[in-house]
């Protein structure tokens, strides 16, 4: 287990180094483009007005400083794995601006899209975790891809997860167990459109999503500013066919974001006996806790 954890940490550091390198490279290219944009017209601007070159130069310097501030702040946030003062919007900047530019830059230097996306998901997760927010179960959403379902299964789970016969042939059975145990709504999406509809109807404050690099990246972009913590699926049979998920990693993520007062009652009782403050699923968790899984596009039994 220690060997696995060490390998996982090393892989995580490699992804962070890739992300930092791409951000730095993208920022450098942007600065060079700004210098080029500044240099070409400055000579001709003097013919328009005597001060036109100076005004244009000031604007270019301000833009260059903005690029340095933005990329530098994001790099520092990634290195220190925390949301730093004055850089609170680092995740939004990486989602909206830098990721598309980084993808283009990576293509120019021969880095695959999947490596860029995997690196982006890793960094996004750290920035989401760095916000140090805790949520009630009713504020969280477990969003799964339909490729986790056994490809030979005849049950349709998109609109109601309760159609699952819980035969144990795919991860859905265990995911329902996690959903029931922690009281977090579970939904399955067949694509981006269904996923967006689920998010709009559920209106979660945090999404725990399982998918491939491409779908996680697009999902993080589509749902911003809602924080999304992504868990990459496992593909022993290739993409989009009988995929798997590391349930230990997913449960660890669920617990790290959940208010400890909302942990399952038996764990709260153990915590209280040990001198902890856990109170179980009670009033401290709020009145709107989802029990079970309900339907994929809304609903659920509330207590």
At residue 189, φ and ψ (nearest 5 deg) are: -120, 140
What are the residue ranges in the chain where pLDDT is below 50? 1-5, 7, 268-283, 287-303
Beta-strand relationship, 140-145 and 185-189: parallel
Residues 249/250/252/253 CA torsion (nearest 10 deg): 120
Residues 6 or more apart in contact with residue 56 via CB below 8 angstroms? 38, 41, 42, 45
Model pLDDT, residue 31: 78
pLDDT of residue 279: 38
The pLDDT tens digits for 14-67 are 666 776 777 777 778 777 777 767 766 666 666 656 777 788 788 888 888 877
pLDDT of residue 228: 93
Task: Provide the sign of the torsion angle of the four alpha carbons 90, 91, 92, 96, taken in this order.
Answer: positive
Residue among 244, 256, 38, 251 at smallest CA distance from 134: 256
pLDDT at 242: 94
Q: How far is CA 97 from CA 30, 80, 91, in A?
A: 12, 21, 10
Host H or E run for residue 7: helix 2-45
In sequence order, what DSSP letters do the residues of 138-192 get, joined into one string?
A: GGEEEEEEGGGS-TT-----SSBGGG----SSSTHHHHHHHHHHHT-EEEEESSH
Say if strands 290-291 and 301-302 run parallel, antiparallel, or are unpaired.
Answer: antiparallel
What's residue 62's pLDDT?
Answer: 86
DSSP 44-78: HHTTT-TTHHHHHHHHHHHHHHHHHHHHHHHHHHH
What is the pLDDT at residue 1?
Answer: 44
Q: Is the pTM of this model over 0.75?
A: no
């Amino acid at each position: 287990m220690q060997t696995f954890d060490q390998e996982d940490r090393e892989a995580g550091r490699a992804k962070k180094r890739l992300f930092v390198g791409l951000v730095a490279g993208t920022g450098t290219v942007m600065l060079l483009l700004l210098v080029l944009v500044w240099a070409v017209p400055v000579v001709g601007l003097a013919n328009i007005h005597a001060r036109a070159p100076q005004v244009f130069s000031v604007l270019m310097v301000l833009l260059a400083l903005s690029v340095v501030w933005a990329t530098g702040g994001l790099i520092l946030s990634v290195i220190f794995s925390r949301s730093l003062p004055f850089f609170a919007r680092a995740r939004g900047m990486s989602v909206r601006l830098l990721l598309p530019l980084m993808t283009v830059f990576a293509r120019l230097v021969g880095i695959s899209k999947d490596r860029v996306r995997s690196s982006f998901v890793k960094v996004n997760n750290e920035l989401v975790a760095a916000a140090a927010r805790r949520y009630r179960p009713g504020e969280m959403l477990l969003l799964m891809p339909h490729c986790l379902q056994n490809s030979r299964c005849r049950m349709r789970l998109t609109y109601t997860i309760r159609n699952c016969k819980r035969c144990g042939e795919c991860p859905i059975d265990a995911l329902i167990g996690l959903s029931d145990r922690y009281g977090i709504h579970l939904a399955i999406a067949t694509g981006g459109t269904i996923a967006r509809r689920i998010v709009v109807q559920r209106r979660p404050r945090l999404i725990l999503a399982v998918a491939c690099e491409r779908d996680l990246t697009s999902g993080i972009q589509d749902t911003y500013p809602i924080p999304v913590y992504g868990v990459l699926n496992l593909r022993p049979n290739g993409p989009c066919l009988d995929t798997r998920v590391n349930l230990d990693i997913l449960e660890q993520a669920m617990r790290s974001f959940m208010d400890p007062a909302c942990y399952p009652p038996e764990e709260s009782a153990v915590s209280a006996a040990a001198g902890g403050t856990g109170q179980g699923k009670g009033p401290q968790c709020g009145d709107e806790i989802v029990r079970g899984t309900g339907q994929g596009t809304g609903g659920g039994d509330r207590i």
